[in-house]
Chain A
Amino acid sequence: MLRLLGYLLNQGVVTSKEYCEPLSDGVGLPDFSDQPCAGSECNECLSVCPTDAISLISAETGGEVRLDLGACIGCSMCVRACPEETLVNSKNTAVARFNREDLVISSIERKVAEPMPKTKSLFSRSIACRVVSTGCSACDLEIAACGNSIFDMERYGIHIVASPRFADVLLVTGPVPKAMHDALKSCYEAMAEPRRVIAVGTCATSGGLHKGGYAEANGVDSLLPVDLYIPGCPPHPWSIIDGIKKVMAGRGTR
């Protein structure tokens, strides 16, 4: 027992001191640089994208390209394919957005990351989260990682609870296939108001790679009102913590 305590003390403090550190080795989601796009002559990124997240708005050189982060799985094939270096890996982890439309980024009109709301809300000090998994477990592993001693989300007042009855916010992972539709809806109905819903990951945001199949796995917002989207496949633990903190800080009417 004493030896174990000694061992634990010897580990020291491993908790990260920075908030939302940028990725050091990871590739993260793509972003646009200042380099102009070559236009329809090129089309390299469009042909490699597995989820058709990229669309060319104007055909000429330097024209507008749009990228839907809500459909992007972060494979960075477009970044590798882009000869003009218009697309780059963003090492940013603060990627959550309140509006689905804001996840569509453009090469012309560069949007800054969603700022942390300054308002006060009922959940400003602490928030209880219920996780409902409907997908491949990658996002679940990353949510579980938020609770480890490195990221330690409890220090921000974020708790995971075992029942929707205790929960303020529903974290949904996965594309919500048909067999989970009823279960997810009754879980939401069991929550006391005010309540929030966060779609964690690309599948939960848009259905991702599973969209449009016979299992009707098209994401959370086809069933429930979503307050915040966290893109990524899976999102980094910092992205998840930052997303939950944004919901704590305010906005949301339900």
Chain B
Amino acid sequence: MKVERREIALGERTETIRQLLHRDSRRLGLISSINGSQLISLVLNPVEGAAVCWETPLQSKEYHSLAPVISQAHWFERTLWDMFGLEPENHPRLKHNLLHEAYSPHLLPLKLDQNLFVVGNGNGSGISTYTSTGTNGNGNGSGNVSENGHCRDYKPMVVKGDGIYEIPVGPIHAGIIEPAHFRFSCLGEVIFNLEIRLGYVHRGVEKRLCEMPWRKQRFLVEAAASDSAAAYALAHSIAIESLFDITVPPKAEYLRTLALEIERAAMHINDLGGLAGDIGYLAISSTMGRLRGIALSMAEKLTGSRLQRNFICPGGVVFDPSGKLSEIKKLAHQLRKDLQPVMTFFMSNEVARDRMENIGVISPRLAADFGIVGPAGRASDQRYDARQYFAHGVYPRIRVPVAVETGGDVLSRAKVRIAELDSSLFLIEQLIDGLPDGDSLLKLPDSLPKNESGLGIVEAHRGELIHMVFTDEEGKCSRYAIKDPSVNNWTGLAIAVRNNLVSDFPLCNKSFGLSYSGHDL
């Protein structure tokens, strides 16, 4: 979709954005920068399906933090500090997010002009001059400390008091799961505070995306977080197509939606199965493993890949799988029928309900403040589903029911997933029945338009996913920003586990079903 770009002075930024967000259900999309000399704040207007990108030119690397008035800004500002060296003043808990001690303190990967805003040298004012040869820390501790002693140390919040102790977990976990470090401050079995440290799978995706030809970007975009490969590819395609200002053929729209919904179904089955497994309800979790197999074979028939890689591309879809659609429809029908008794067994079991009810509660108010998206948001009475508002695939022309619960606990999140799973499978059958004729791929020009910006918003299985592309005066991609739904929701997990038992943490974690790689990029 097209994004409107407006400029706003640094002094007026906080007040304007605060007022915008308080008015008629506007949302904060993302906060970032293009090359380190400005701030961009994307404000979404779901009701009109529109978006405004507010640009704030910077004179120095300091700016007023939005976090004290707009809570959800805190995470974005931490990333801005890491990637561009921009320092928010009055940030309540500023610490590194993506770049660890292992990286050189001089490294600011996305800052284009490394000498911008650098004042003096070695006088203790933040990050000093960067030299392109000095980025490699070589693993010896001293190499990672700059002249003024600045290093990327990370101080978790310490809870003090009688009997308080810490449980450090990770980055390598006991299960088959991505890496992150969790630090629980507990009193007895009760969690007081959870500190989440991410960044372990930071691979420099956003930087690499600007270094490669745009036609090959889609492969890296999909590999950034492969459990949402279809959603990532779709958001990327919409962003690129909006640069060219083209619409893809209706048949491609249908096939893309089909891929997105199959992915949603497969991942919801996976998350529900994981939840049952953590409760110890193995009959359900192993059945869900089998049923996920059916969803994956639907995916394989549609795209040739179990995780739907290399199917959706800018301009449409790579190939036309029409011949397989009747088989997919049959499988969707069978899967929907098979799921019903399993879900009844799951939700009617008293032990399982007892483990989920009133556990990991996140109130509607906090969910709104922190901009929680996706099933986790909808379980806390947030009616936001990007499929209702923003154009992607056949949405919002085709309406899907929004599953909303008010409890905000693990049970509500499970219920939202069950309802969405059912509507996804129903929708898959409908989409196959209504598939229009015609082409499924539109040829795009070779070079990107100059000085343009494009935006793609997709409701992935975890929630609102945003891709934003900027091109420079040569028509090269100068900045590629990705906001995974997990960026919003990691804070939600940290809030939800407070005052819960340590043993309930795995349940809370599974009920959010967050992506580590999508966050770290």
Contacts and interface: CB of A to CB of B under 8 A. Distances in A.
A142 B293 CA distance: 11
B150 interface: no
Contacts of A147: 289
Interface in A177-202: 177-184, 187
Contacts of A234: 226, 306-307
Given A75-B219, A133-B179, A134-B179, A177 B300 contact: no
Interface string B305-332: 1110110000000110000100000000
Contacts of A209: 208, 219-220, 223
A34 to B, nearest CB: 23
Interface string B186-230: 000000000000011111110110001000100110011111010
B165 to A, nearest CB: 21
A25 interface: yes
A149 B289 contact: yes
B515 interface: yes
B290 A149 contact: yes
B307 A75 contact: no
Nearest to B232: A136
Contact of A141 (B109, B224, B227, B286): B227
Contact of B223 (A136, A150, A180): A136
A29 B310 CA distance: 13
Contacts of A142: 306
Question: Which of B139, B200, B229 is most buried by chain A, counting CB atoms within 10 A of its CB?
Answer: B200
B204 A75 contact: no
B102 interface: yes
B290 A182 contact: no
A132 B170 CA distance: 11
B224 A25 contact: no
Indicate the size class of the contact surface on chain B: 35 or more
Nearest to B218: A50
A143 B201 contact: no
A70 interface: no
Contact of A50 (B103, B219, B292, B305): B219
Contact of A179 (B176, B200, B208, B290): B200
Contacts of B212: 50
A181 B200 CA distance: 9
A57 B455 CA distance: 42
B358 interface: no
Interface string B374-390: 00000000000000000
A141 B342 CA distance: 22
Given A7-B341, A178-B100, A150 B517 contact: no
B345 A183 contact: no
Interface string A154-197: 00000010110000000000110111111110010000000000
A150 B227 contact: no
Nearest to A143: B176
Contact of A144 (B171, B176, B301): B176
Interface in B244-277: 270
A154 to B, nearest CB: 12
B100 A136 contact: no
Contacts of B107: 214
Question: Which of B107, B202, B224 is most buried by chain A, counting CB atoms within 10 A of its CB?
Answer: B202
Indicate the size class of the contact surface on chain A: 35 or more
Given A25-B304, A150-B289, A150-B293, A180 B179 contact: yes
A214 B176 contact: no
A224 to B, nearest CB: 14
A26 B300 CA distance: 6
A230 interface: no
Contact of B226 (A11, A138, A179, A184): A138
B287 interface: yes
Nearest to B226: A138
Contact of B178 (A27, A76, A137, A213): A137
Question: Which of B177, B223, B227, B297 is most buried by chain A, counting CB atoms within 10 A of its CB?
Answer: B223
Given A131-B176, A134-B179, A141-B307, A214 B290 contact: no
B293 A187 contact: no
A17 to B, nearest CB: 15
Contacts of A25: 297, 300-301, 304, 324
B208 A187 contact: no
Contacts of A50: 212, 216, 219-220
A180 to B, nearest CB: 5
B201 A213 contact: no
Contacts of B102: 178-179, 181-182
Given A25-B324, A26-B300, A50-B220, A177 B207 contact: no
A243 interface: no
Contacts of B207: 213-214
A177 B172 contact: no
A8 B345 CA distance: 11
B172 A183 contact: yes
Interface string A58-91: 0000000000000001111100100000000000
A203 B130 CA distance: 30
Question: Top 3 closest A-B pairs, CB basis?
Answer: A138-B226, A148-B289, A162-B174
Interface of B: 100, 102-103, 107, 109, 135, 139, 171-172, 174-179, 199-205, 207-208, 212, 216, 219-220, 223-227, 229, 270, 283, 286-287, 289-290, 292-293, 296-297, 300-301, 304-307, 309-310, 318-319, 324, 341-342, 345, 515-517
Given A135-B201, A179-B171, 10 more contacts: A7-B342, A26-B306, A133-B177, A136-B224, A137-B516, A179-B199, A180-B200, A210-B223, A213-B203, A213-B204
14 contacts: A11-B287, A27-B304, A50-B216, A73-B219, A74-B305, A133-B178, A135-B203, A136-B227, A138-B226, A138-B307, A148-B292, A150-B290, A214-B103, A234-B307
